[in-house]
Structure 1
Amino acid sequence: MRLFGTAGIRGKLWEKVTPELAMKIGSALGTYIEGENVAVARDGRTSSIMLQNALVSGLLSTGKEVVDFGLIPTPVLAWGTRGHTDGGVMITASHNPPTDNGIKVFNGDGTEFYVEQERELENLVSSGEFRKARWDEIKGVKSEEILDDYIEAVLKFVNHETNLKILYDGANGSGSVLAPYLLGDMGARVISVNAHVDGHFPGRKPEPRYENISYLGELVRELGVDLAIAQDGDADRIAVFDERGNYLNEDTVIALFAKLYVEEHGGGTVVVSIDTGSRIDHVVEKAGGRVVRVPLGQPHDGIKRYGAIFAAEPWKLVHPKFGPWIDSFVTMGLLLKLIDEEGKPLSEIVRENIPEFYLTKKNVPCPDELKGAVMEKAFKTLSEILERETKEILTISGYRFQLRDGSWVLVRPSGTEPKIRVVVEAPNERRRDELFDLAYKTVVKEVERLKQSARA
């Protein structure tokens, strides 16, 4: 039974994610984890408290003590788990719609469960062979407030004061309980929108894709801020607009930090996901480092395997010196520090340091049960068409065609939603559009064909 996708367990409430499942996960985790206690926390979704209570019941049934961190961002749960407890669980569906929810599991050092651990936990859930504590072994739940301590830790790590003017968009997610205060404590002048927690996400869709937050560009220009920062529902993702109101491509943000860390270390390995682009390779190799690509959802695995000094996926950056988890708050703090130390507007820093590539990404709706067949057919078609141009094919998290002119085409199934993602990058817009048209239409055609076959 496969429960975990690329980022924990996630799906529609009552269809995939239920209180019954949450209780089983709690029982399995309490059986699996060695030690005395497990931390739990939740995002602001309407169903999160229900699922948390069910999961806590499962944990308690195995004799574990539960430490309740309350409603907090996911990075805070990871930080709080390290040094406080023997494991941690976050109830969140991250950037998914409000109809969804999910469960993310962490080790006692703050790392997300590794792939092999997820499989072992799934097997335990399937078997139902859970530890059952005697009546006199059952412990309780204690609440701990850790937000202030976490803010203090980030401020100490970033070690910088600023007077930049920041526009912050919290997506009505759990980041709203922290980000404006962290930025304010750094000395920033903060203007907040969508910064009250509401599980209906009334302000905008929680995923910080450009199409969901494009209005921030105009607000940046109207308000005269130095940059805008947007988060997702559980505040592990971060998106950025410069002082001109231009959206920074996710790879550009990654490249900025990759360059910073490689120069600081005089080399080193940067781990990035399969769907990241060539501008990262360019700046890392120029600075004397190397880039390694890993499957989606496995930056922590990559850090462990390659000893990486920095790791990232689009919107999600890991700063190993602070901790081995995705942390948007450290990212925003260091970004403000970078701008001040360079003494230039963000747009100028990007223009001087990061080369321009042209990227397009779009999702094709696809039922989960058809994903495998669609991927197989699309791969066959694209392999034949692109055969003469292909330099290498990477087969992690889908198929990535590395072409001889520096372009690349990625087709991969979403691990959390009924979609297939198509990503294309090229040195110029015409080439990008040509390749994207080919890849996108190929996937759409196969989805429609297989849907018709299933109906027949």
Structure 2
Amino acid sequence: MGKIKFGTDGWRAVIADDFTFANVARVAQAIADYYQTQPDKEKGLVVGYDARFLSREFAQEMVEVLVGNGIFVILSLEDIPTQCISFAIEDKELAGGAIVTASHNPPKFNGIKIRASFGGSAPAEVTERIEAFLGKNKVRKLALKEAAKKGLIKIEDLARGYLKKVESFLDKDLIRRANLKIVHDSMFGVGDGFIEKLLAKSECEVTTIHHKYNPGFGGLNPEPIEKNLEDLKRKVREVGADLGIATDGDADRAGVVDDKGRYLTPHQVFSLLLLYLVEGRKMRGGVVKTVSLGYQPERIAREFALSLDEVPVGFKYVCHKMREKDVLLGGEESGGYGFRGYLMERDGILSSLLFVEMVTKMGKPLSLILNNMEDRFGASFFKRVDFEEAGVSKSKMIKKLSSSAPSSLGGVPFREIKTIDGIKFIMKDDSWLLIRPSGTEPKVRVYAEATNEVRLNRIIKEGMQLAKGAI
């Protein structure tokens, strides 16, 4: 049995291996022990769950432990997106919350994400304290029926209020006028049905593929990256859709396909969202991106004199900056985007609907909007390759790569080397390579972006050799 360790966003493990009812109870007891030390513990917690195998039952196990420790809990009536938990915390002024989900991980995984009192991912100092409580105290449980009698549990529909929150951020007039043909790939996750509900008052025609429930996720990982979205691309072309959108297993991340059935990389999606907020909505503010996002948003930020911060991979780092300063848009390469004046959390559903708003307002096909953006800020070709490798020491890997790094990649000399998270080599033409161990899976990730596909493939090939040589 492996050690329970919180990574980039929560604890994740293989179901029936380390992710067992006994271990979920241990984690829940540690969470209860932590909140017993907090001054706002009387405000209570909220617990939700996604559509994975046994997620509801694991959530109920968590709740039995929390109420067994005298903590008031609001339990979701049904499986929901992670951001519903964030909204419930903010709306009901709770001490925090948790959701049973493994997000975009393969079907055999499940996990627990912890959310702080501000609605975003619990910072490292919180998860470290929770880890320190593991095994310190005996697990105390109370059956849900008994908890209800004592007033320690309330089961609520958490989706209704969340839907109103999403609507409050959208331009209602544009959404009402929208007349697009849309294909939504819910990837067998909890995003199923949300797009249709939010566009019910529009003239849009929404077709959903990969409805839940499928514990095997149809043989695919519920991660909205290109290799998992071939069905979406095909369906967009088949029905002549204006837009294809995908949401991951817990619907906090988004993938986008244009009217030609082409997958847009997260770099392009983030850049289009930023440009739309700045030019389409006339908004201003800072930009925060993880180190795994590329040069297009940097160029847009320079064009409009917007501050730009680069942080480690993980939306909790983006969230920290968004709490710290006036940030208009924050995002990560995995397809998670957060917006000022909304929640301290990424939201794949809202991000998707902003593309509906964007295409409607601009009156142009998404493919043309993308071409126009890249004419102004440069083309982007991106690829990420993962390979299985457990227990990689990030610090040792960085040290080895730093000491034996070549002077160029893809035939272009280096301009800069960053070690914000892993090691990132930036070339003189803005192309780059990033190598880092994953914080959610036993993998090493190799990322690259370049201005053309030939150079991109060359950088990736050289990067893979570097990565495997450093382990």
Q: How does 1:276-287 map to 2 (within 5 A)?
A: 276-287=293-304
State the AA in 1 paired with 2:87.
W
Of 42, 48, 57, 2:55 maps to 48
Distance 1:12 1:290 in 2: 41
User: Contact 2:25 / 2:139 at 8 angstroms: preserved in 1?
Assistant: no
What per-residue deviation string (whole Å, max 9, x for no partner) do you get for residues 162-207 of structure 1?
2211001111111114233223344421111112322221264311
Partner of 2:319: 300
Partner of 2:341: 321
User: Contact 1:168 / 1:192 at 8 angstroms: preserved in 2?
Assistant: yes
RMSD over equivalenced CA pairs, Å:
2.6
User: Contact 1:184 / 1:190 at 8 angstroms: preserved in 2?
Assistant: no
What per-residue deviation string (whole Å, max 9, x for no partner) do you get for residues 24-44 of structure 1?
222222233323311111011
Of 243, 249, 253, 1:227 maps to 243
Alignment of 1:71 with 2:79, yes or no, is yes
Task: Tell me how far 1:352 sits from its aligned partner.
Answer: 1.0
User: Contact 2:408 / 2:414 at 8 angstroms: preserved in 1?
Assistant: no
Distance 2:5 2:391 in 1: 13
User: Contact 2:331 / 2:338 at 8 angstroms: preserved in 1?
Assistant: yes
State the AA in 2 paired with 1:321.
G
- C-alpha change, 1:230 and 1:388, in structure 2 (3 Å) is closer
Alignment of 1:444 with 2:468, yes or no, is yes
Task: Tell me how far 1:270 sits from its aligned partner.
Answer: 0.5
TM superposition score normalised by structure 1? 0.90
State the AA in 1 paired with 2:7.
G
Task: Tell me how far 1:91 sits from its aligned partner.
Answer: 0.3
- Range 228-237 or range 189-198, more displaced: 189-198
Partner of 1:88: 97
Partner of 1:450: none
Distance 1:179 1:168 in 2: 8
- Range 202-211 or range 243-252, more displaced: 202-211
Partner of 1:206: 222
Task: Tell me how far 1:4 sits from its aligned partner.
Answer: 1.3
- C-alpha change, 1:184 and 1:204, in structure 2 (3 Å) is farther
User: Contact 1:44 / 1:71 at 8 angstroms: preserved in 2?
Assistant: yes
Partner of 2:421: 397
User: Contact 1:172 / 1:203 at 8 angstroms: preserved in 2?
Assistant: no
Distance 2:19 2:282 in 1: 43
What per-residue deviation string (whole Å, max 9, x for no partner) do you get for residues 76-125 of structure 1?
12112212232111100001111100101112331111122222222222
Alignment of 1:359 with 2:378, yes or no, is no
Task: Tell me how far 1:131 sits from its aligned partner.
Answer: 9.3
Alignment of 1:59 with 2:82, yes or no, is no
Distance 2:57 2:402 in 1: 42
Distance 1:402 1:128 in 2: 49
Task: Tell me how far 1:47 sits from its aligned partner.
Answer: 2.5
Distance 2:422 2:454 in 1: 25
Distance 2:319 2:455 in 1: 34
- Range 114-123 or range 85-94, more displaced: 114-123
Task: Indicate the SS of the match to 1:83.
Answer: helix
Partner of 1:334: 354
Task: Indicate the SS of the match to 1:50.
Answer: helix
- Range 340-349 or range 286-295, more displaced: 286-295
- Range 12-21 or range 193-202, more displaced: 12-21
Task: Indicate the SS of the match to 1:382.
Answer: coil
Task: Indicate the SS of the match to 1:431.
Answer: helix
Of 286, 307, 316, 1:290 maps to 307
Q: How does 1:227-306 map to 2 (within 5 A)?
A: 227-263=243-279, 264=281, 267-297=284-314, 298-306=317-325
User: Contact 1:30 / 1:59 at 8 angstroms: preserved in 2?
Assistant: yes
- Range 25-34 or range 121-130, more displaced: 121-130
State the AA in 2 paired with 1:36.
K
Partner of 1:309: 328
Task: Tell me how far 1:378 sits from its aligned partner.
Answer: 4.0
- C-alpha change, 1:132 and 1:211, in structure 2 (3 Å) is closer
State the AA in 1 paired with 2:156.
E
User: Contact 1:371 / 1:420 at 8 angstroms: preserved in 2?
Assistant: no
Task: Indicate the SS of the match to 1:396.
Answer: coil
Distance 1:335 1:75 in 2: 19
Distance 1:155 1:356 in 2: 33
Percent identical: 28
Partner of 2:365: 345
Task: Tell me how far 1:428 sits from its aligned partner.
Answer: 3.0
Q: How does 1:1-150 map to 2 (within 5 A)?
A: 3-33=5-35, 34-69=41-76, 70-84=78-92, 85-125=94-134, 127-128=136-137, 139-150=151-162
Distance 1:412 1:87 in 2: 30
Distance 1:385 1:2 in 2: 40
User: Contact 2:119 / 2:343 at 8 angstroms: preserved in 1?
Assistant: yes
Task: Tell me how far 1:248 sits from its aligned partner.
Answer: 0.8
Paired residues in the alignment total 446
Q: Which runs of 5+ in 1 are unaligned?
A: 448-456
State the AA in 1 paired with 2:380.
F
What per-residue deviation string (whole Å, max 9, x for no partner) do you get for residues 2-26 of structure 1?
7211121112123332322322222
State the AA in 1 paired with 2:300.
V
User: Contact 2:288 / 2:321 at 8 angstroms: preserved in 1?
Assistant: yes
